[in-house]
């Protein structure tokens, strides 16, 4: 007996791939933890692998430090198969595979630029990769057949393949993924201090709004996996963290000066410069495939905290011919109102505002 696809490591990513492909391929699953494997099988991501059955393609979705050992074992079972992995760092995994003597012509590394701060099969979803970039990192030895096989899997999951060298990939994720993780964790770690307060005072964190939610969302990530990632990409991440420290030190020095002398124009200009450069950086962050914040105008609608408000706003937008490019919802449970932000083409902003007001919605702003 043989299978189309073997997935080794049935956590968040492995189970999501199984769920995405279960209607297109015969998927076998393996995990070193029997309970995790059973949970992935229970979610319908595939059937258990018996350890000997042959396969055409195997994807290793275990932590980066486990990839070389798993692939060594897989090549003993099935030397002709193509092997892929999804590790969030690529160069160290390529080096480990070379050191382990894995036949690299059959191997193509890859990294789906999609994920969650939760891990494990329970957090998996079939549409995790839809419309997301998925980086393919062939080594110089990777055969065209191996690259095509992994590219086909990526496309079957609904993702968009992007080919980069392992070094290019690792430098890019240091900036767009690993630096934000360190920064979010550092901000969230400071919140532990909020416990100390005078008796009877409102706990500071009860005043928190969406800004703190957004800034610290990824601080909920699993420490074990992140230590593995940061250890492997430390050389690329460390200089960026030093740059961040320099930004923060200069902001702290300016704030010290403002605390001593609120009218210090030089210090105020320094703080303004940081916020302005942040505006520029933020505008460069993609909001949706091929689109950026700067390409869209925002229409904000204040809504009561009741079920069905988002659907109601979107139905009104559709009925009045407003083409919504993207949606953001700022809402905290227990708060009386939330804000729905519709991103529209700039030329459509005024029409959208008037049409939604005419439909009875509380459109904020001019
Ligand atoms: N979490 C993300 O957002 C994300 C995004 C893209 C890529 N990745 C990469 O995907 C891979 C898996 O990450 P995840 O988030 O699914 O982690 P996870 O912790 O949810 O799952 C990893 C699974 O691998 C299993 N495992 C560990 N060592 C093994 C071994 N030697 N043999 C068989 N199974 C083994 C674990 O039991 C676990 O079930 C990692 O390489 C990670 O870098 C993660």
Per-residue pLDDT of the chain (366 residues; tens, 9 = 90+): 567 999 999 999 999 999 999 999 999 999 999 999 999 999 999 999 999 999 999 999 999 999 999 999 999 999 999 999 999 999 999 999 999 999 999 999 999 999 887 889 999 999 999 999 999 999 999 999 999 999 999 999 999 999 999 999 999 999 999 999 999 999 999 998 876 566 666 678 888 888 999 999 999 998 988 998 999 999 999 999 999 999 999 999 999 999 999 999 999 999 999 999 999 999 999 875 545 556 788 898 888 878 888 889 999 998 888 888 888 877 655 566 778 889 888 888 999 999 999 999 999 876
Q: Strand pairing of 54-60 and 2-8?
A: parallel
**Protein residue with its CA nearest to atom 5 in ligand 1:** 115
Which pLDDT score is estimated for 320?
A: 83
CA of 184 to the centre of ligand 1 (A): 21
pTM for the complete prediction?
0.80
337 sits in the region (left: phi over 0; alpha: psi -120 to 50; else beta) called beta
Which pLDDT score is estimated for 289?
A: 54
Which pLDDT score is estimated for 327?
A: 85
CA of 320 to the centre of ligand 1 (A): 46
| C-beta of residue 89 within 8 angstroms of C-beta of residue 66 | no
**Protein residue with its CA nearest to atom 40 in ligand 1:** 63
CA of 101 to the centre of ligand 1 (A): 22
| C-beta of residue 97 within 8 angstroms of C-beta of residue 107 | yes
| CA separation for the pair 215, 211 (Å, rounded) | 6
Q: Which atom of ligand 1 is nearest to the CA of 228?
A: 43
Which pLDDT score is estimated for 191?
A: 92
Residue with tokens 């550092």: 186
- The 3-state DSSP class for residue 345 equals coil
CA of 87 to the centre of ligand 1 (A): 8
DSSP 168-186: HHHHHHIIIIIHHHHHHHH
Which pLDDT score is estimated for 332?
A: 55
CA of 32 to the centre of ligand 1 (A): 11
Backbone dihedral angles phi then psi of residue 190, each to the nearest 5 degrees:
-65, -20
Q: Which atom of ligand 1 is nearest to the CA of 37?
A: 39
**Protein residue with its CA nearest to atom 3 in ligand 1:** 115
Give the Cβ contact number of residue 198 at 10 Å.
Answer: 5
Which pLDDT score is estimated for 66?
A: 96
Longest CA pairwise span in the chain (Å): 78
Closest C-alpha to 359, from 326, 323, 322, 333: 322
E strand segments, the chain: 2-8, 27-30, 47-48, 54-60, 82-85, 107-112, 133-137, 160-163, 286-288, 291-292, 297-304, 326-330, 337-344, 362-363
| CA separation for the pair 244, 230 (Å, rounded) | 16
**Protein residue with its CA nearest to atom 9 in ligand 1:** 87
Which pLDDT score is estimated for 346?
A: 86
| CA separation for the pair 216, 115 (Å, rounded) | 16
| C-beta of residue 134 within 8 angstroms of C-beta of residue 111 | yes
As for ligand 1, residues whose beta carbon falls within 6 Å of it are: 8-14, 31-33, 36, 61-64, 66, 70, 86-88, 111-112, 115-116, 119-120, 225, 229
CA of 95 to the centre of ligand 1 (A): 19
| CA separation for the pair 311, 308 (Å, rounded) | 5
| C-beta of residue 155 within 8 angstroms of C-beta of residue 131 | no
Which pLDDT score is estimated for 337?
A: 74
The residue to mutate among 6, 10, 12, 60, having the most atoms of ligand 1 within 8 angstroms of its beta carbon, is 12
Across 220-246, b (16+ Cβ under 10 Å) vs e yields ebeeebbebbbebbeebbeebbeeeee
Cα 162 to chain centroid distance, Å, stands at: 16
Sign of CA dihedral 40, 43, 46, 52: positive
Backbone dihedral angles phi then psi of residue 157, each to the nearest 5 degrees:
-80, -5
The 8-class DSSP code of residue 5 comes to E
The 8-class DSSP code of residue 348 comes to G
The tokens describing 327, both together, are 């949606």
| CA separation for the pair 205, 181 (Å, rounded) | 21
Which pLDDT score is estimated for 86?
A: 98
Q: Which atom of ligand 1 is nearest to the CA of 224?
A: 19
CA of 123 to the centre of ligand 1 (A): 12
């Amino acid at each position: 007996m043989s299978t189309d696809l073997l997935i080794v490591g049935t956590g968040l990513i492995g189970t999501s791939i199984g769920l995405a492909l279960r209607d297109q391929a015969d998927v076998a699953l393996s995990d070193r933890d029997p309970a995790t494997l059973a949970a992935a099988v229970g979610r319908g991501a595939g059937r258990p692998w018996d350890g000997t059955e042959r396969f055409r393609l195997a994807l290793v979705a275990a932590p980066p430090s486990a990839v070389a050992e798993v692939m060594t074992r897989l090549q003993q079972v099935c030397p002709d198969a193509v092997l892929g992995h999804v590790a969030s760092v690529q160069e160290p995994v390529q080096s480990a595979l070379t050191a382990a003597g894995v036949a690299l012509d059959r191997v193509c590394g890859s990294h789906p630029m999609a994920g969650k701060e939760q891990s494990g099969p329970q957090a998996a979803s079939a549409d995790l990769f839809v419309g997301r970039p998925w980086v393919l990192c062939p080594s110089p030895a990777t055969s065209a057949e191996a690259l095509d096989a992994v590219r086909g899997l990526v496309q079957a999951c609904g993702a968009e393949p992007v080919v980069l060298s392992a070094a290019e990939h690792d430098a890019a994720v240091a900036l767009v993924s690993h630096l934000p993780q360190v920064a979010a964790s550092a901000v969230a770690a400071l919140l532990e201090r909020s416990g100390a307060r005078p008796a009877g005072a409102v706990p500071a964190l009860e005043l928190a709004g969406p800004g703190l939610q957004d800034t610290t969302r990824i601080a909920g990530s699993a420490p074990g996996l992140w230590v593995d990632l940061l250890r492997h990409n430390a050389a690329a991440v460390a200089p960026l963290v030093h740059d961040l420290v320099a930004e923060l030190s200069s902001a702290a020095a300016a704030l010290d000066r403002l605390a001593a002398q609120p009218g210090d124009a030089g210090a105020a200009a320094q703080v303004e410069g940081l916020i302005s450069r942040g505006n520029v950086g933020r505008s460069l962050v993609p909001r949706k495939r091929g689109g950026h914040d700067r390409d869209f105008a925002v229409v904000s609608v204040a809504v009561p905290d009741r079920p069905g408000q988002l659907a109601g706003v979107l139905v009104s937008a559709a009925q009045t011919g407003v083409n919504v490019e993207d949606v953001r919802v700022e809402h905290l449970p227990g708060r009386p109102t939330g804000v729905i932000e519709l991103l529209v083409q700039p030329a459509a902003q005024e029409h959208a505002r008037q049409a939604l007001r005419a439909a009875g919605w509380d459109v904020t702003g001019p």
